[in-house]
């Protein structure tokens, strides 16, 4: 890893692939087709791209049961414990509306209601991602969403990975479809004969999935379009180089575009981590990906002071931040911008990816300046309610009419004034 002296302006930002014209054209055609032809179009594209022919693409209860029965007991327990932890953390985010009284019997209120239906896209390919199921479904359940749908591309055998079905089963989600790609996003957004439309689509996917989500945005809500993973480690001489290196690589192995940065006040640590990264890289199964990430986007910065390091982190606004230094908790309090913070050497970042309870869907590419990780609020909506009594109306109508006329909206003024003082109730 390159080691440089920390200067004032550093950035994690990368030029990210937004998809090319050809891909966008393809996605738009898929969306149109699924909107018009429903299931038939979904089947056509599943065959074309995933190479599978499925008459019925809903996962049967039997398939779920089989997955659960044959699944490794220990892993199932691990998933159950992770689910419990995630629920414990997110439960504190559940909230209620409120009512504020005004004079003369009038009141204002905010009502909070869950979305009716949400769809979670789980990427397929070579690996299974049960942790995505937990991280996306649990906040929706805490919010009170009644209908939760999972969709994921089937493998060549026409099946979904057992781990995904087991995770869904642990959470009680049974509406699962074996479709992927843009056609899955289209089905969730517009509905087909088999799949009723949802109100929000979450979950990561390849470039076609990301483009499709962007295109249907507005028709339905979507979560963020997540970028490649990022980790920043803020450390002093008390940190162990092998641990820091391992944590940097844990994010680098995600993606060749992932970004791993160490900011340290210790030159010794900087050099040791650089050596350790090289050593550990050569032993990593996903060495090729991690190496590309480290070579292109890996950086070690040497800071004059923790204060300077904190400033740098705040300008980075990283997705993940580890604080491994003396008084780590106090130092963490000075961080204004980060998706998630891990304090001390035992809070290795993957702890949060799988198990601790916090969400692993987090803002990337410096958007932690203004965005948050996935949370219960992403699955609720707010309705404001106004009740004006006759007396309140009478007292305030002239003021409201004046304000409306000041903005040139006479119709607004007349509407408020239209309530005749002497009409009485009908």
The count of residues interacting with a second copy (CB under 8 A) is: 121
Q: How far apart, in whole angstroms, are the C-alpha atoms of residue 409 and residue 203?
A: 44
Contact indicator for 302, 10 with CB cutoff of 8 Å:
no
Cβ distance to a second copy smaller for residue 57 or 272? 272
Q: How far is the CB of 42 from a second copy (least distance, A)?
A: 23
In this structure, the dihedral spanned by the alpha carbons of residues 113, 202, 161 and 71, taken in order and rounded to 10 degrees, is -40
Q: Is 32 in the site for a second copy (CB under 8 A)?
A: no
Q: How far is the CB of 413 from a second copy (least distance, A)?
A: 7
Cβ distance to a second copy smaller for residue 2 or 95? 95
Binding positions for substrate are: 229, 251, 254, 320, 353, 407, 412
Map the footprint of a second copy across residues 130-149, applying CB under 8 A: 130-131
- Per-residue DSSP letters for 297-348? H-EEEE-SSHHHHHHHHHHH--SEEEEESTTHHHHHHT--S-SEEEESTT--
Cβ distance to a second copy smaller for residue 234 or 246? 246
Contact indicator for 176, 190 with CB cutoff of 8 Å:
no
Q: How far apart, in whole angstroms, are the C-alpha atoms of residue 267 and residue 303?
A: 9
Q: How far apart, in whole angstroms, are the C-alpha atoms of residue 169 and residue 61?
A: 10
C-alpha to C-alpha distances, 30 to 45, 152, 207, 212, 373, nearest whole angstrom: 8, 17, 14, 9, 30
The window from 150-158, 185-193, 302-310, 340-348 that contacts a second copy (CB under 8 A) reads: 340-348
Q: How many CB atoms lie within 10 A of CB 396?
A: 15
Q: Is 288 in the site for a second copy (CB under 8 A)?
A: no
The window from 40-48, 180-188, 294-302, 361-369 that contacts a second copy (CB under 8 A) reads: 361-369
Map the footprint of a second copy across residues 74-133, applying CB under 8 A: 74-75, 78-79, 81-82, 88-89, 92-93, 95, 98, 100, 102, 108, 110, 113, 115-116, 126-131
Cβ distance to a second copy smaller for residue 155 or 344? 344
Question: Active-site positions?
Answer: 319-320
CA-nearest of 196, 160, 182, 201 to 64 is 160
Which of 186, 249, 274, 303 binds a second copy (CB under 8 A)? It is 249
Q: How many CB atoms lie within 10 A of CB 279?
A: 12
Binding positions for Zn(2+) are: 251, 254, 353, 412
Q: Is 37 in the site for a second copy (CB under 8 A)?
A: no
């Amino acid at each position: 890893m390159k080691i440089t002296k920390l200067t004032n302006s550093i950035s994690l930002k990368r030029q990210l692939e937004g998809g090319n014209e050809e891909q966008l054209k393809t996605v738009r055609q898929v969306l149109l087709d699924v909107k018009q032809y429903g299931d038939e179009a979904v089947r056509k594209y599943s065959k074309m791209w995933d190479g599978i022919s499925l008459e019925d693409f809903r996962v049967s209860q039997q398939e779920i049961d089989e997955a659960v029965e044959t699944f490794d007991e220990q892993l199932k327990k691990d998933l159950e414990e992770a689910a419990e932890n995630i629920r414990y953390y997110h439960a504190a985010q559940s909230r209620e509306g409120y009512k504020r009284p005004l004079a003369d019997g009038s009141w204002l209120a905010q009502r909070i209601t869950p979305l009716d239906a949400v769809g979670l896209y789980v990427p397929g390919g070579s690996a299974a991602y049960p942790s995505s199921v937990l991280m996306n479904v649990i906040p929706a359940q805490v919010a009170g969403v009644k209908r939760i749908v999972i969709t994921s591309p089937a493998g060549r055998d026409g099946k979904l990975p057992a781990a995904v079905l087991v995770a869904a089963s642990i959470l009680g989600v049974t509406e699962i479809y074996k479709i992927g790609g843009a056609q899955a996003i289209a089905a969730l957004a517009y509905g087909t004969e088999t799949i009723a439309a949802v109100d929000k689509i979450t979950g990561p996917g390849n470039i076609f999935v990301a483009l499709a989500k962007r295109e249907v945005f507005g028709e339905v809500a979507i979560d963020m379009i997540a970028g490649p993973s990022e980790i920043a480690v803020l450390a002093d001489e008390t940190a162990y180089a092998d641990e820091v290196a391992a944590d940097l690589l844990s994010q680098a192995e995600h993606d060749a575009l992932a970004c791993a940065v160490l900011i340290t006040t210790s030159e010794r640590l900087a050099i040791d981590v650089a050596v350790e990264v090289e050593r550990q890289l050569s032993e990593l199964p996903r060495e090729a990906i991690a190496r590309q990430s480290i070579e292109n986007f890996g950086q070690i910065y040497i800071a004059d002071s923790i204060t300077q390091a904190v400033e740098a982190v705040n300008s980075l606004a990283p997705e993940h931040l580890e604080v491994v230094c003396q008084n780590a908790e106090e130092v963490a309090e000075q961080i204004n911008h980060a998706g998630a913070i891990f304090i001390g050497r035992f809070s290795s970042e993957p702890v949060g990816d799988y198990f601790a309870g916090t969400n692993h869907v987090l803002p990337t590419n410096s958007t932690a300046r203004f965005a948050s990780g996935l949370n219960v609020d992403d699955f609720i909506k707010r309705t404001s309610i106004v009740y004006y009594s006759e007396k309140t109306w009478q007292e305030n109508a002239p003021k409201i009419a004046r304000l409306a006329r000041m903005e040139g909206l006479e119709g607004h003024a007349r509407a408020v004034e239209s309530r005749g003082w002497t009409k009485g109730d009908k």
